[in-house]
Amino acid sequence: MSSSRFALNLSRRVLGKTLRTKVASQHLGATRLSSYYTPAHEYVKVDGIIGTCGITDFAQAALGDIVFVSLPDVGDEFDAGDSFGSVESVKAASDVYAPVSGTVVEINEALNDSPELVNSSAEAEAWFIKIEMTDTSEAQKLMDETDYEKHCEDEA
């Protein structure tokens, strides 16, 4: 493991859940991944014109055991705010909304066999879709990590 990655993991253990991707981006070197959040608990991680979208850790904790994820098809187009799929627990289903407008270029097939990944790794391995964004400025209008954390505190 490189020393920068080691430092990242160590600080994760020390700071616990409050460590966010803002700090991660400072350690991971050249590629900066900026994360933005919606009030409805979706995130988009922006890398050039590709946005990787999913639901946040706060959301998965509130939902409980996830048993099913419904994903769109590659090639589907959405406007920001459109429902692009759903996430289900034993008890109920909830729509998931596109944080940004664009075309789906990749879906996370792993969630078909292992929906429980959403519980264990909502903001990393359990991304739902990758979107080719039509307007990269849309993401910047969403909440950053600090504002989103405050939003969660207010909601709790």
Residues near another protein, by CB under 8 A: 40-42, 55, 59, 62-65, 67-68, 70, 86-97, 155
Query: Whose Cβ is closer to another protein: residue 55's or residue 139's?
Result: 55
Considering beta carbons, is residue 26 or 112 the nearer one to another protein? 112
**Residue 33 carries which DSSP code?**
P
**Residue among 7 and 15 whose Cβ is closer to another protein:** 15
Quick one: tokens of 117?
């990944």
Helix (H, G, I), strand (E, B) or coil at 5: helix
User: Which is closer to another protein, CB of 59 or CB of 133?
Assistant: 59
Output the smallest distance, CB 16 to another protein, in A: 12
Distance between CA atoms of residues 21 and 37, nearest Å: 12
To another protein, the closest distance from the beta carbon of 137 in angstroms equals 24
CB of 125 to another protein, least distance (A): 19
> How far is Cα 104 from Cα 130, in angstroms, rounded to an integer?
6
Tell me the pairing of strands 50-55 and 102-107: unpaired
Q: Give the separation between CA 8 and CA 43, rounded to whole angstroms.
A: 21
